[in-house]
Structure 1
């Protein structure tokens, strides 16, 4: 379990939101239409998703405080897709205003929680409010990288990368064990399968690969039984709809 405190998590979220806002400040309408690092999505799609997930996390907390649960996305997966498509074509200023409002809503809620309220149940992966906040941290940091605005995986902190290793261990196939060898750092292992593959490279490159993004600092090397092999194929990303 990630060992940062709830107060530290709020600080990380505030910084991540500030980073997104700073990169959006000079964005033009033409910039919004540029392809993102996600297949089939423009920057406008990513921006719409950032706003949508911000409101979704806020809504999880708001209902939890009332002792209720609600779907993570209004309308489920279909509602998520529809909302993103409807808002992707907004102007840069519309995106800035929508995201700013969503950031205020979710951060105000999280900043006002007491210790007990962080453990209130929510529908997201049958977890608690803290789980939703951790998911939000992932969304803000990773999707800022997807926008290709100068905050790629090479900027991810060691703390964030090690947290991703913990969360994304669910992507390791059942028959596989990954021995991660980040340069100049202690090795660690994720997965419990009988077949071991070692993956060596920069910490941020390993985290980028595990998250389905393109490593940006150099090449990764994979070995099995002392022979070079291709990087193994990972399972799907754990979604908001898993374990429900």
Structure 2
């Protein structure tokens, strides 16, 4: 069972880690490229702030974003700001998300995110946790997939495996980190491939942060996963 209160606390801790790390930057280094193509570190920070606002919209029954173009325009608008403004915005928007999460609510209700995706309200704090942790990695300032909390790595792997389960463009895959095992992709009596690697390498490949070169593949070659 999902514990949204636990996940809200985890979001708060992850946000503090990100803010502490980003505070060591200066305006010049914040304007340098992140690990996300076409985005500076400031773009990543602006996105983290606007995502918090968007998930407040979700929790309060409004559209996550007015439109995709408005989402993109807001990030471009906010990216040129000085670092101190960026960090204050990340902190303030995070506080708004925590406040929305603390409000009395039916956490079993279904909510709608982008592109018609629906989910339980109880999973929204975990989705926010993923945004903060993975975009902290995307900043490229010393926080790596290996630094992610073990619980987060396992649960995000579970989540992504579920996302790709039954996907017609993903072959039948058996994944293992030597301790845990998962199956995803098209249904089959026998998997097309078996993929073995460390928890961080498996997660990195599933979430598009690594190319899979650190994984061992038995069977066909490692497939290119569809966008999330």
TM-score (norm 2): 0.88
Which residue of the partner structure matches residue 219 of structure 1? 214
Which of 165, 168, 174 in structure 1 is aligned with 2:160? 168
**What are the equivalent positions in structure 2 for 1:55-204 lying under 5 Å apart?**
55-61=53-59, 63=60, 69-73=61-65, 75-110=66-101, 112-114=102-104, 116-124=105-113, 125-169=117-161, 170-171=163-164, 173-174=167-168, 176-183=171-178, 185-194=179-188, 195-204=191-200
Which of 44, 47, 55 in structure 1 is aligned with 2:45? 47
Aligned-residue offset at 1:177: 1.7
Q: Deviations over 1:139-178 (max 9, x none)?
A: 1111110001221111123322222223223236426221
Is the contact between residue 179 and residue 198 of structure 1 (CA under 8 Å) also seen in structure 2?
Answer: yes
> Matched residues in 2 for 1:223 and 1:118: separation?
41
Distance 1:86 1:234, change over 3 A: same
> Matched residues in 2 for 1:126 and 1:188: separation?
23
Is the contact between residue 164 and residue 184 of structure 2 (CA under 8 Å) also seen in structure 1?
Answer: no
Which residue of the partner structure matches residue 240 of structure 1? none
> Matched residues in 1 for 2:209 and 2:28: separation?
24
Is the contact between residue 57 and residue 72 of structure 1 (CA under 8 Å) also seen in structure 2?
Answer: yes
Distance 1:127 1:187, change over 3 A: closer
Name stretches of at least 5 consecutive residues in structure 2 with no aligned partner.
none
TM-score (norm 1): 0.83
Is the contact between residue 175 and residue 183 of structure 2 (CA under 8 Å) also seen in structure 1?
Answer: yes
Name stretches of at least 5 consecutive residues in structure 1 with no aligned partner.
64-68, 238-244
Partner-residue secondary structure (3-state), 1:36: coil
Which range moves more in the overlay, 37-46 or 124-133? 124-133
